Amino acid sequence: MLIPDFIKYGDTIAVTAPSDGNKKDIDLARLNYAEEKLNSLGINVLETDNVRKSIKGRSADACERAGQFMRVWKDDKVKGVISAKGGDFLMEILPYIDFKEIKRNPKWFQGFSDNTGLVFTITVMCDIATIYASNFNDFAMKKWHQAIKNNWDILNGKNITQYSFDRYQNGFFTGETGTEEYALDETVKWINASGEENICMEGRLLGGCLDVLLNLVGTKYDKVHDFNVKYASGGIVWFFESFSLGSEDIERGLWQLKEAGWFSNVRGFIFGRPAFFSSFTDTSYKEAVLNALGEYNVPVVLDADIGHKPPQLTLINGAECRINSAHGQGSIKFIY
C-alpha cells in the first residue's frame, strides 16, 4: 500500500470538483474562508475552474471534470487534492480518469459521499491510500471542531488515536456567515450490534458511501477481489455509511456485495449514522445490517462517527487499523 507524502508547511493543496461544485452564496463564503484558514497555516491553495460552478448537479461535463482532476494530479507542485463538494454524478468521470498516471504519481485525495467514486477506486485500483473525510469547505470553521483538527493532524502525518465525539449534528445546517461550527444536537452512541460489551477489530480499512459503492460493484472499477487476495493475511475491516438508502435498500445492497465476493476476507464492519433512513417493512437499521451480514460472525459496530451526520472521523482507505468500541464510545488508530 502506497502511503503518499504528508502535507507540510509551504505545500500546495488543490481543490477541485469531480462531482458538484459550489453555487450558493453561503457555500462560496465557506470556500473563501476555508482557503484563508489554510493560507494562515502556511498552505497554498490552488482552485480548478470548476470549483465555483454547479449546473444540474455537476460542476462541468464529465470530460472536463476528469481533465481538471488529472491536471492537478499531474502537477508536481500539488501535494494533495481535496474535493470541493459531494453530489450524485462523479461516476461519469471514471472512464476519463488515467489510473495509471495516478499510480505513477501518488498523493493524497480526500473527500466523502459521492467522492467515494474516487476515494475507493484509487485505493483498490492503484494501491494508494486515500482519505474519507470532510470535503474542503469544512475547513472554513472559525474554531475548528476536534474532527477537523484530527483531519489536519492526519494530513500532516501525525499518527494520532481518534476518539468518538460527544455529540453530533442530526440534520443539515447551512449557517449564515460560513464560519459556523457544527450544530450539535444529539448524543453520540456507538452500538455493538450483537450486544457485546467490548469490540476490538483489526485489519485493513476499506469502504465508503454505500449508495455509491453499489454503482461500482461489477464494473471494471471493481477490483475488490484482487485487493482481497493481495491483503489476505491481515483481512479487511469494512466501513459504510449511507445517504438515502432505506432498510430494504441496505439489506439488498449488502447482499449484492456479499454475493459479489467483497466480504471474503472480512474481519469486521463499522457503519456510520445513516442520513435519511426509512423502512416500509418495519425493519430497523440494525436488523437490515444483521440480516445481511450476521452469517460472518465478525464484529459489527453501528452509529459510528462516519459520514453525513457530522462530526466524522478521518478514515484512511487502505491503511491497517485498530478499532475499539465499548459502552457507546469508540476509537480508531491507524498502523502505517
pLDDT tens column, 301-319: 999 999 999 999 999 999 9
Which residue range is the domain that position 242 belongs to?
A: 167-335
**Domain identity same for 123 and 182:** no
- Cβ(269)–Cβ(238) below 8 Å: yes
Whether the CB-CB separation of 232 and 265 falls below 8 Å is answered with yes
What number of H helices and E strands is found in the chain?
9, 16
pLDDT in tens, 93-145: 999 999 999 999 999 999 999 999 999 999 999 999 999 999 999 999 999 99
Residue 148 and residue 198 in one domain: no
Q: 4 in a domain, yes or no?
A: no
- Say what the pLDDT of residue 174 is: 82
pLDDT given at position 336 = 82
Distance in angstroms (rounded) separating the CA atoms of residues 115 and 82: 10
Q: How confident is the model at residue 322 (pLDDT cuts 50, 70, 90)?
A: very high
Q: Does residue 6 belong to any structural domain of this protein?
A: no
Q: Does residue 2 fall inside a structural domain? A: no
191 and 315 belong to one structural domain: yes
Instruction: Indicate if 148 and 172 belong to the same structural domain.
Output: no
Q: Is 93 helix (H, G, I), strand (E, B) or coil?
A: helix
Q: Pick from 19, 169, 228: which is nearest to 109 by CA?
A: 19
Q: Are strands 300-304 and 191-192 parallel, antiparallel or unpaired?
A: antiparallel
Mean pLDDT confidence for 212-231: 98
Q: Does the structure show a pLDDT above 90 at 334?
A: yes
- Cell, residue 310: 457530522
Q: How confident is the model at residue 220 (pLDDT cuts 50, 70, 90)?
A: very high
Contact yes or no for 311/147 (Cβ under 8 A): yes
Write phi, then psi, for 177 (nearest 5 degrees): -105, -25
Separation CA 287–CA 191 (nearest Å): 13
Q: Do 223 and 305 share a domain, yes or no? A: yes
> Element (H or E) spanning 67, and its range?
helix 62-74
Residue 54 lies in a domain: yes
For the chain, how many structural domains are there in total? 2
- The whole-number average pLDDT for the span 153-176 is 95
Cβ count within 10 A of residue 256: 15
| Domain shared by 89 and 180, yes or no | no
- Residue 31 above 90 pLDDT? yes
- Residue at 1 is within a domain: no
In a domain, 308, yes or no: yes
Give the 3-state secondary structure of 219-257.
CCCCCHHHHHHHCCCCCEEEEEECCCCCHHHHHHHHHHH
Q: Do both 115 and 205 map to the same domain?
A: no
C-alpha to C-alpha distance for 224 and 177, rounded to whole angstroms? 42
pTM of the model: 0.97
- For strands 191-192 and 186-187, give the pairing: unpaired
Residue 23, pLDDT score: 95
For residue 171, the model assigns a pLDDT of 87
Contact 33, 63 (CB under 8 A): no
pLDDT averaged over the chain? 97
Among 160, 187, 221, residue at a domain's last position: 160
Contacts for 247 with CB less than 8 Å, ≥ 6 apart = 277, 278, 279, 281, 283, 284, 285, 287, 288
Length of the chain: 336
Which pLDDT score, from 0 to 100, does residue 222 have? 98
What percent of the chain clears pLDDT 70, i.e. is strictly above it? 100
Angle between helices 285-293 and 247-259 (to 10 degrees): 20
Residue 175 pLDDT more than 90?
no
- Give the Cα separation of 249 and 267 in Å (integer): 23
Phi, psi of 330 (to 5 degrees): -155, 175
